[in-house]
């Protein structure tokens, strides 16, 4: 195996190569290696310049995040980079692929930076709840100005090579040709020109005015709700202009090291790995080659089908969009165009992009046009008989090896697969609305879906820039099944005397993107009412309070935003929530009629315990039954698809953080006086809580057993 970092002397140039697949993350071995190479070069007067570059698909994508959990082995990256920067020879750093976090900090310790035109440079630390800790907060402001630097830290998104050059972050951009060759020539030219080191630490900083800083702070608070990392970034960058370099470095060290210990950082690092682990499915390996998906059929051009069509067109996959008649298709295509046009207005797409994408979507009323597609996704309304009929037709027209998928969110896909002669090629692909925006894709495996089809679904999710999570067939799969008790409690709370604003406010302060009752108003109060009606076997018939509040609104024709009234009242054309007094009165009356209205005020804590802990309890059942493979899969579903705050790490991680005994005790407390079913602790939750264990530990033990 090659060394993760090595040194070669080419003429009078020292070439340092980092080669640590897959992404050249800086591990302890690389830190040790770079330090020893630095010390070797410091005393080598024959070397006139140093070039640092990376092998493989990318420059360094950051520090090795897996080391952050425990005590990091010495030496510290910041100390290594200090010595590296002080080398007497000029240092050229050549960047390609994605240079991120500690990768850019490494480049900043060099004296000159040259980038491939496809390179992207950025500081994603904010997405991990941490502050750059390898002197980035002190060097970047010196190189590109404090304001631009702070914006990069707060934004978290990488910039392209040309933009990096405009910022002054790189000196040269190489278009075409070999980067290493160009960088060597650059280094030789420096030597020929007698140029020495140009150390960022010696540069002055352009500070940010207090007034401007206040604006940036306000904007960041809006963009990153509920987390302290932006404030920490601001404090670290402030040190760059208020203090000399060495003192600023000490401030950054304290802030960055502290940021690694926060619950929000633990949560976000957990999600980083959880989102990558989801695609590892036991039993599916390199032999299960994903099939090529170059063209896709979509049945149904409504909101869901249209959004899915956009997701495919955006990923450069041909679409055949099918509906019953031309009028339906025209409506569907008009909505797609309208959505694309609004992206043009917001500057996200050009008019030419829109034309190209519209060209990718061919509309048809004829199933025969699906004969050559590699996959068809059925996205019609939830009706088993209709779906079985569609699958019978698809089975007849589609080519051998093509995949038949359904976007159902509730129905038993085994029953749908059973009507085909190729049940191994049938899978659930459950998109979330709007399907062109939402990152989550639930991949639902039936009893017969083949490994190859599952592998294809994961590859497809990646191509669509989504995160695929595997679920077994059950009512609601992972996400909607856990929503059921969550919504049940929210609905009951408003009958007991909490206002919708109170319930949603508590959930939003906890970190949900939107309170559940506001979500109902947005999606349509009728959606849930109809889903419950269509699935009587999933609805307890002996509980008159069950999802009763939405029925009360539904009976009045208050369906939410679309009718101007629901849990809230809306002015025409506005989504701003106002108190809906009539609804409050009716809901209070209903609570009294059912005998559940309470006189004492309901606290935020009770709202969270009843709604969120019930969701966690259902998550435990889902793990017990093997519907989800891992607690992290559930967390990924909830943060990518249901607006659960990333800084909480998802419901199962959050439960581990607060302690499963806390969850269990609250379930027992709220279960008193309720029917035996509602807060009944899941067996797994109870066992783990009583042992003082966690979902994470349970999962690790399961992994070790297999
Ligand atoms: C930092 O640098 C802090 C500093 O200030 C220093 C403080 C002292 N570490 O995403 P992929 C793994 S914080 C460890 O599927 P892609 C990943 O888990 C860091 N592992 O590929 C996966 O493993 P597996 C700042 C990492 O092509 C494999 O590599 N940097 C790291 O879709 C492939 O990853 C970041 O936050 C890492 N840093 O995307 C960058 N990065 O195959 C995070 C990746 O076993 N990384 N892995 O599942 C990314 O954004 C993407 O991985 C990247 C490639 C864009 C690079």
Model confidence pLDDT, tens digit, residues 160-175? 999 999 999 999 999 9
Question: What b/e readout covers 113-134, taking b as 16+ CB neighbours within 10 angstroms?
Answer: bbbbeebbbbbbbbbbbbbbbb
Atom of ligand 1 nearest to the CA of 280: 48
Looking at residue 71, what is its pLDDT? 80
- List of E strands, 19-101: 49-54, 91-95, 98-100
Q: Which atom of ligand 1 is nearest to the CA of 103?
A: 2
Tokens of 443: 């991949």
**124: Cβ below 6 Å to ligand 1?**
yes
Decide if 125 is catalytic. Answer: yes
Taking CA atoms only, the protein residue closest to ligand 1 atom 7 is 133
What is d(CA 333, CA 273) in angstroms, rounded to the nearest whole number?
A: 38
Q: Are 242 and 210 in contact (CB under 8 A)?
A: no
Q: Is the CB of 63 under 6 A from ligand 1?
A: yes
pLDDT at 1 over 70: no
Closest Cα partner for 108 from 152, 44, 157?
Answer: 152
105 classed as catalytic: yes
Alpha-carbon 428 to chain mean position: 21
545 pLDDT above the threshold of 60: yes
User: How much distance in Å is there from the Cα of 228 to the middle of ligand 1?
Assistant: 22
CB 587 within 8 A of CB 549: yes
pLDDT in tens, 614-650: 999 999 999 999 999 999 999 999 999 999 999 999 9
Q: How far apart are CA 430 and CA 464, in angstroms?
A: 13
Q: What are phi and psi of 483, to 5 degrees?
A: -70, -25
For the chain, the straight-line distance linking the first and the last C-alpha, in angstroms and rounded, comes to 28
Q: Which residue has the higher pLDDT, 68 or 507?
A: 507
Q: Which domains does the chain have, with CATH numbers?
A: 5-261 (3.90.226.10), 295-475 (3.40.50.720), 480-626+630-705 (1.10.1040.50)
Q: If you take atom 40 of ligand 1, which residue's CA is the nearest one?
A: 61
pTM > 0.95: no
Q: What is the pLDDT of residues 451-507, one digit of tens each?
A: 999 999 999 999 999 999 999 999 999 999 999 999 999 999 999 999 999 999 999
pLDDT in tens, 22-45: 999 999 999 999 999 999 999 999
Q: How far is the CA of 27 from the centre of ligand 1 (A)?
A: 12
Is the beta carbon of 453 within 6 A of some atom in ligand 1? no
List the residue whose alpha carbon is closest to atom 10 of ligand 1: 276
Asked if residue 133 has its Cβ within 6 Å of ligand 1, the reply is yes
Backbone angles phi, psi at 115, to 5 degrees: -130, 145
**Residue 267 to residue 272: CA distance in whole angstroms:** 9
Our answer on whether the CB atom of 24 is closer than 6 Å to any ligand 1 atom is no
Which of 24, 61, 135, 462, when mutated, tests ligand 1's pocket best, judged by the most ligand atoms within 8 Å of its CB? 61
Average of per-residue pLDDT across 190-216: 96
Other residues' Cβ atoms within 10 Å of the Cβ of residue 677: 11
- Residue with structure tokens 């934004």? 155
């Amino acid at each position: 195996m090659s060394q993760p970092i090595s040194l070669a002397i080419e003429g009078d140039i020292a070439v340092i190569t980092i080669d640590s697949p897959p992404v050249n993350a800086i591990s302890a071995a690389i830190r040790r290696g770079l330090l020893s190479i630095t010390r070797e070069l410091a005393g080598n007067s024959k070397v006139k310049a140093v070039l640092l570059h990376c092998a493989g698909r990318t420059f360094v994508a950051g520090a090795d995040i897996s080391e952050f959990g425990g005590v990091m082995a010495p030496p510290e990256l910041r100390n290594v980079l200090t010595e590296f920067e002080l080398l007497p020879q000029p240092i050229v750093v050549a960047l390609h692929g994605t240079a991120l976090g500690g990768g850019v900090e490494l480049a900043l310790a060099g004296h000159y930076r040259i980038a491939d035109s496809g390179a992207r440079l950025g500081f994603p630390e904010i997405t991990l709840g941490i502050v750059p800790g390898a002197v980035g907060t002190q060097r970047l402001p010196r190189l590109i100005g404090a304001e631009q630097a702070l914006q990069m830290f707060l934004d978290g998104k990488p910039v392209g090579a040309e933009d990096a050059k405009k910022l002054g972050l790189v000196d040269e951009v190489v278009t075409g040709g070999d980067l290493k060759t160009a960088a060597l020539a650059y280094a030789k030219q420096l030597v020929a020109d007698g140029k020495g080191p140009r150390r960022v630490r010696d540069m002055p900083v352009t500070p940010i005015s207090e007034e401007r800083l206040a604006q940036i702070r306000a904007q960041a608070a809006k963009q990153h709700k509920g987390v302290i990392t932006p404030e920490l970034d601001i404090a670290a960058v402030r040190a760059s202009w208020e203090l000399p370099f060495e003192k600023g470095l000490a401030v950054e060290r304290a802030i960055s090291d502290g940021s690694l210990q926060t619950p929000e950082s633990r949560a976000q690092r957990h999600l980083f790995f959880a989102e990558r682990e989801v695609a590892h499915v036991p039993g599916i390996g390199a032999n299960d080659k994903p099939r090529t998906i170059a063209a896709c059929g979509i049945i149904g051009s409504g909101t869901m089908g249209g959004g899915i069509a956009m997701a495919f067109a955006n990923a450069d996959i041909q679409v055949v969009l099918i509906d019953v008649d031309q009028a339906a298709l025209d409506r569907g295509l008009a909505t797609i165009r309208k959505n694309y046009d609004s992206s043009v207005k917001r500057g996200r797409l050009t008019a030419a992009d829109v034309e190209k994408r519209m060209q990718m979507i061919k509309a048809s009323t004829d199933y025969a046009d699906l004969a050559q597609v590699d996959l068809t996704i059925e996205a019609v309304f939830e009706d088993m008989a209709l779906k079985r009929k569609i699958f019978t037709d698809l089975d007849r027209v589609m080519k051998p090896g093509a995949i038949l998928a359904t976007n159902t969110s509730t129905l038993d896909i085994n029953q749908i697969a059973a009507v085909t002669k190729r049940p191994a090629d049938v899978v659930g692909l459950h998109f979330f609305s709007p399907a062109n925006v939402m990152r989550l894709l639930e991949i639902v495996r039936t009893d017969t879906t083949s490994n190859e089809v599952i592998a294809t679904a994961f590859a497809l999710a990646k191509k669509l820039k989504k995160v695929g999570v595997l679920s077994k067939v059950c009512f609601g799969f992972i996400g909607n099944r856990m929503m059921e008790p969550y919504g049940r409690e929210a609905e009951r709370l408003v009958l007991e005397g909490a206002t919708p604003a109170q319930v949603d406010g508590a959930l939003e302060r906890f970190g949900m993107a939107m309170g559940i009752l506001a979500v109902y108003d947005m999606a349509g109060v009728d959606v849930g009412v109809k889903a419950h009606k269509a699935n009587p076997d999933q609805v307890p018939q002996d509980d008159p309070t069950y999802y009763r509040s939405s029925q009360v609104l539904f009976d009045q024709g208050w369906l939410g935003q679309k009718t101007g009234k629901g849990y809230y009242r809306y002015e025409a054309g506005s989504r701003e929530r106002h108190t809906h007094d009539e609804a409050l009165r009716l809901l209070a009356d209903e609570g009294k009629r059912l005998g559940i209205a309470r006189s004492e005020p309901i606290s935020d804590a009770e709202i969270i315990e009843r709604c969120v802990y019930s969701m966690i309890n259902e998550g435990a059942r889902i793990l017990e039954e093997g519907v989800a493979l891992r607690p992290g899969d559930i967390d990924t579903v909830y943060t990518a698809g249901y607006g659960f705050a990333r800084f909480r790490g998802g419901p199962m991680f959050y439960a581990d953080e607060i302690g499963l005994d806390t969850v269990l005790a609250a379930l027992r407390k709220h279960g008193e006086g309720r029917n035996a079913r509602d807060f009944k602790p899941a067996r797994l939750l109870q066992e783990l809580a009583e042992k003082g264990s966690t979902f994470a530990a349970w999962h690790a033990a399961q992994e070790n057993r297999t």
